[in-house]
A = this chain, B = another copy of it.
């Protein structure tokens, strides 16, 4: 830890992990928090999946969505990845003095539409206003409660031979937001993939214990999420570069901006690890949803390189992928 907080600490990568594991968790010690999932399973009948995220995306309107839509999708997806069927959301605004009411109304409209699409209700909330120069337009926090359908999802359940699926193209959200920030670049038709994933997740949960883990690869992207799955274990994940769907526009934008789509955030895609015998069935389930039409099997779990994520490149080589270092994409969500 350094003495002051730098942007890296919000990257979702190594420094964020350090802050959480070296300071937050030790000071707030309890068994549920120590699991460090994006959502927590707590007692209740049925058990509850509970999650929260604050959204600080810049700009707050971007192709394919805005901070309001994102704030519903992000928390709905975290609750769903935790094995829950999302039901209720809280909604809290921190608005900078001078923000246009018309923009706020559009954002709240998106929140309402997205909540309806996801089948969740916004049931409680809060509004704070800070002085001009003490915020950046609008920040939103949502927290979500779901009733648990599958209480066994965990990276710890991953076994040798398991298969890794991605429900669509990688990096759309990250690339769209970064391009939106660079107004001098051609926007093309690149849009964020921002979408609720709870219906796909619920369907995949019917695979029972053959479904090992679900996760939406947001900050840090597909590569960072997969690294987190296997770090500290004896397992490795081998990805085939040619099998990972990436939209042509995202590939071009990443080339221009010097980014890697595997580290760019998705906001409407999930990673699923399943028993090899159920991989084709899982893919069929994913593809049966409009948001999953580009779903693919992208890799397998092996015992070859303990704790490592290995990319088999198009050119026949191998590259080890590590967790995101530094703030490649600050304020992406």
Does A256 sit within 8 A of B, measured CB to CB?
A: no
Mask: chain A, 37-72; 1 = CB below 8 Å from B; 0 = not: 111101111101011111110000000000000000
Say yes or no: is A186 at the interface (Cβ < 8 Å to chain B).
Answer: no
A24 / chain B contacts, CB cutoff of 8 Å? 91, 108, 125, 127
What distance in Å separates the Cβ of A264 from its nearest Cβ neighbour in chain B? 17
Contacting residues, chain B, for A94 (C-beta < 8 A): 54, 56, 94, 139
Pick the residue among B9, B37, B101 that contacts A129 (CB under 8 A).
B9
Which candidate, A26-34, A222-230, A233-241, A317-325, is the interface stretch facing chain B? A26-34
Sort chain A's interface into a size bin.
Answer: 35 or more
Interface pick from A109-117, A162-170, A192-200, A291-299: A109-117
Q: In A5-28, which residues have CB < 8 Å from any B CB?
A: 5-11, 16, 19-20, 23-24, 27-28
A95 within 8 A of B: yes
Q: Is the CB of A330 within 8 A of B129?
A: yes
A138 to B23, CA, bound (A): 16
CA distance in complex: A109, B5 (Å): 17
- A93 on interface, CB distance cutoff 8 Å: yes
Residues of A participating in the B interface, judged by any CB pair closer than 8 Å: 1-11, 16, 19-20, 23-24, 27-30, 32-33, 37-40, 42-46, 48, 50-56, 87-88, 90-102, 104-105, 108-109, 111-112, 115, 121-131, 133-136, 139, 141, 143, 145, 147, 327, 330-331
